[in-house]
Amino acid sequence: MNKVFLIGNLTRDPELRTTSTGDSVCSFSIAVNRRRRSNAEAGQPEADFFRVSAWRQLGENCAKYLAKGRKVSVVGSVSCRTYVGSDGQTRASLEVQADDVEFLTPRGEQGEAAGAYAPAAPAPQPSANYSSVPQGGSFVQVDEEELPF
């Protein structure tokens, strides 16, 4: 069984292309931090980089809503591809065929990258007066000064 679960941040904006048969494919890469840190003093985690391909409707959604820096969860199958670089060196690349991509960065975060999302409605602010909670319901009115924290 070849199945990989990755959570990481996009290292560049996604690129959407269309094949000659009319299928959409979106390509992007993600950086996945390792738990172990090689340079603990600097606090820099080590990272692995994966190229991801998402096809058809999934790829169109990725191209529409993702941008560099956004956090995503990718589930799919992984393959290793070798190629010869422009310097003549043989290189290897880990590629993931995405079966599922979840957008983990909340709407409105990441500054300019948030422009792809529709603006989020402001969260309702709780009222300081809790007397509006129905007394017959399962809620119990608590005085804030009685809380231990």
Q: How confident is the model at residue 81 (pLDDT cuts 50, 70, 90)?
A: confident
**Angle at alpha carbon of residue 49, lines to 48 and 53, rounded to 5°:** 140
pLDDT in tens, 17-76: 999 999 999 999 999 998 775 655 566 778 888 999 999 999 999 999 999 999 999 999
Kindly list the domain boundaries of the chain, sorted by start residue.
4-140
* CA atoms 139, 141, 144, 148: torsion sign: negative
- 36 versus 149: which is more confidently predicted? 36
- Domain covering 4-140, topology: OB fold (Dihydrolipoamide Acetyltransferase, E2P) (2.40.50)
**Are the C-beta atoms of residues 27 and 66 closer than 8 Å to each other?**
no
Q: Tokens 């560099």 appear where?
A: 68
**Are the C-beta atoms of residues 147 and 140 closer than 8 Å to each other?**
no
pTM of the model: 0.64
Which residues partner with 10 through β-bridges? 30
